[in-house]
Structure 1
Amino acid sequence: MSQNKIETDSESSRKVVFFSTRPYEKNVFTALLCERNKSLPPRIEATFFEHPLNPSTAASCKGFSDVVVFVNDNVNAETIDALKHADVEHIALRCAGFNNVDVNAATRAGISVSRVPAYSPETVAEHTLALILTLNRKTHKAYNRVREGNFNLAGLIGFTLHNKTVGVIGTGRIGKAVIRILLGFGCRVLCFDPIEDVSVKKMGAHYVSLDELFAMSAIVTLHCPLNEHSHHIINESSLAQMPDGVMLINTSRGGLVDNDAIIKGLKSRKIGYLGLDVYERESELFFVDHSQEIIQDDVFQRLTTFPNVLITGHQGFFTEEALEEIANTTIDNILSGSNRL
């Protein structure tokens, strides 16, 4: 297991351990901490682990006041019990979603939890549109053809996005950023959210029931949190309500989609295009190079066989601006306790 440490010479410091840390994250946090630690205490003594946090690795947190985790770390009740025995005070998520953390168990253990509720929402919104446009105009396939000297346009036909009806499920910061871009393309935008936002209506989008959204949308894109109400919101029943050939995009959380239903929808051509930046069992796959291995996830492997499926490895957040915002907010949460759940 790889470990790197940034130390301070101040007695007034917080010892913080980062899990599932990739080199690009370490670089951003290291630069930020070097700058932050020049100011008044408390300063941060940071240790970076590449391996994930789970019940087996939680014992390594002894001596740390804060643990910093990402989307695929397993912070369940068993992990939290181990963190409590290690005297950990705070769990800081360097992401917006917190469905991988048993918040109730953390509360019972007296461990506070914080997250990064908003970081450059345009970042994920732009990746959402990149999936839509790539699937539609098949630029990924055209790129490969041209590199091989093949300029045949057969099979590359798309549709005009202007005037198409797009259904946006979830109108938080990312959902609203997606809506602004879609309206700029001249789309008719329908929305569903349990809490309607007046600013969304002022932009020109229309709130409808979930059933209406499914029935009327040529494209459905997901931007809602994963919870007991939204789990598998895309399933066999909801797909049956959608028009044939619908485009489905998920850049939010993998658990929003029932993969068995999705595969059936692809085989029946109910789903004409599928763009995924997240996957329900991505913790065993994403953020790691498996190119020299045989991937054992049969569902994921099946999805990759369809010519109308485009999957990216949870990179919707991955811009320089977003990483800097994530790092700054995470450190602020550790130092000041802001944004705690």
Structure 2
Amino acid sequence: MITLGENHIFMKIAVFSTCSYDKDFLELLNTGHELSYFTETLNLQNVLLTKGFDALCIFVNDKADAEILPKLAENGIKLILLRCAGFNNVNLEVAGELGIKVLHVPAYSPEAVAEHAMAMILTLNRKIHKAYNRVREGNFSLENLMGFNMLGCKVALIGTGNIGKAFYRILKGFGCQVSAFDPSPDAELQSEGLKYENLKDVLNDAEIVSLHCPLNEDTFHMINAITLKLFKKGAMLINTSRGGLIATADVIDALKSGQLGYLGLDVYEQESKLFFKDLSANIIQDDLISRLISFPNVLITAHQGFFTKEAMSQIAAVTFSNADNFCKGLPMNNELLN
């Protein structure tokens, strides 16, 4: 039940997909709400856990789809607080019909993700991960560790929102030749010299392709057998956005044929069953990611791009600001509408 404090309105909030670091930052920046933590991802099997709460606080792999949302409404949930920018895991139309408000954190630290994308590029290019393991084994040979200069490298930037914009400026600092695709070109970036083209022309002969766009019906599997043929042979693909942007089986085929020379993934289409968990003592049942891990030219991190102190602080602060605005009837600038 929402209750009125001396100078504040409080809610009971169920926090799903909680890791220790989530709890640390949420506790530190809590504006007075009653939080209950669940390590599980929200799904149809555990939706009963939401009974008795006013609001949910969820992350990228929690489901709030057309099947789950009515049950949330029955349990009294009035508000969904996303601890992220992406919202493809929430059915906004159904939420609206049920009167459940959905708020997100539209920008917490674009630089965090952009810097991680560049870290992946440099690691794959200069084979830092291989060199690290070699030296630990006493192997100081440079054989098969050759990279290429970033200066003058042709990069296709797919999506120029907050993260794409931050990444463009990093690429510019390296002296890369950057062209971009985005249905809504950014005038500020255009004034800085960024050239926008259609997707086919941007991908054509690209040496590095980096994805920085949301997942929706227009972008689902935008990197597939057809678009991969537009890449320069041996090119690099980086995805720090959403796993569903890539048709994984097609990417594996491109790696096997050599059409794709490098792959860096911080996201994966079936990541909800894997990421944010310690499965080191288990047999991984996902054959696609097992195949990807077997390639020497593939680098996978487990949705780590956002993970900086600055970003975590901002996520928690904005999440509680969203909750407070809802409680006080103030304008909700971060509300997601269908």
Per the shorter chain, which TM-score range?
over 0.9
Which residue is 1:4 aligned to?
Answer: none
Q: Could you list the per-position Cα deviations for residues 155-203 of structure 1 after superposition, in whole angstroms to 9, with x for gaps in the alignment? A: 1000001001100000000000000000000001100000111111122
Compute the RMSD of aligned alpha carbons: 1.4
Q: Could you list the per-position Cα deviations for residues 15-53 of structure 1 after superposition, in whole angstroms to 9, with x for gaps in the alignment? A: 1110010000101101111xx33xxxxxx1111111111
Are 2:28 and 1:31 aligned? yes
Report if aligned partners of 2:42, 2:63 keep a CA contact under 8 Å in 1: yes
Which of 19, 31, 34 aligns to 1:22? It is: 19
Q: Residue 174 of structure 1 aligns to a residue in which SS?
A: helix
The whole-number CA distance in structure 1 between the counterparts of 2:287 and 2:5 is: 51
Q: Which has the higher contact order (CA 8 A, sep 6+)?
A: 2
The amino acid of 1:340's aligned partner reads E
Note the 1:144-163 alignment, pairs <5 A.
Answer: 144-163=133-152
Are 2:201 and 1:206 aligned? no
Note the 1:192-203 alignment, pairs <5 A.
Answer: 192-203=181-192
Cα shift at 1:12: 4.6
The whole-number CA distance in structure 2 between the counterparts of 1:80 and 1:292 is: 34
Which of 246, 260, 273 aligns to 2:235? It is: 246
Which of 232, 244, 248 aligns to 1:255? It is: 244
The whole-number CA distance in structure 2 between the counterparts of 1:72 and 1:94 is: 11
Q: Residue 35 of structure 2 aligns to a residue in which SS?
A: strand
Note the 1:181-330 alignment, pairs <5 A.
Answer: 181-330=170-319
The whole-number CA distance in structure 2 between the counterparts of 1:263 and 1:13 is: 49
The whole-number CA distance in structure 1 between the counterparts of 2:272 and 2:41 is: 9
The amino acid of 2:57's aligned partner reads V
Report if aligned partners of 2:240, 2:305 keep a CA contact under 8 Å in 1: yes
Name which of structure 1's ranges 200-209 and 84-93 shifts more when overlaid on structure 2. Answer: 200-209
The whole-number CA distance in structure 2 between the counterparts of 1:228 and 1:315 is: 25
The whole-number CA distance in structure 1 between the counterparts of 2:305 and 2:191 is: 27
Q: Residue 216 of structure 1 aligns to a residue in which SS?
A: coil
Percentage of matched positions with identical amino acids: 51
Q: Residue 200 of structure 2 aligns to a residue in which SS?
A: helix
Q: Could you list the per-position Cα deviations for residues 83-139 of structure 1 after superposition, in whole angstroms to 9, with x for gaps in the alignment? A: 010111001100010001111111111101011111110000000000000000001
Are 2:163 and 1:168 aligned? no
Report if aligned partners of 1:180, 1:203 keep a CA contact under 8 Å in 2: no
The whole-number CA distance in structure 1 between the counterparts of 2:166 and 2:117 is: 10
The whole-number CA distance in structure 2 between the counterparts of 1:191 and 1:216 is: 13
The whole-number CA distance in structure 1 between the counterparts of 2:142 and 2:169 is: 31
Cα shift at 1:216: 3.0
Cα shift at 1:9: 8.1
Unaligned runs of 5+ in 1: 1-7, 38-43
Report if aligned partners of 1:112, 1:340 keep a CA contact under 8 Å in 2: yes
Q: Could you list the per-position Cα deviations for residues 42-89 of structure 1 after superposition, in whole angstroms to 9, with x for gaps in the alignment? A: xx1111111111122112211211100000001111111110101110
**What TM-score do you get using the length of structure 2 for normalisation?**
0.95
Which of 98, 106, 112 aligns to 2:101? It is: 112
Report if aligned partners of 2:124, 2:262 keep a CA contact under 8 Å in 1: yes
Report if aligned partners of 2:9, 2:324 keep a CA contact under 8 Å in 1: no
**What TM-score do you get using the length of structure 1 for normalisation?**
0.94
Q: Residue 22 of structure 2 aligns to a residue in which SS?
A: helix
Note the 1:18-167 alignment, pairs <5 A.
Answer: 18-33=15-30, 36-37=31-32, 44-167=33-156
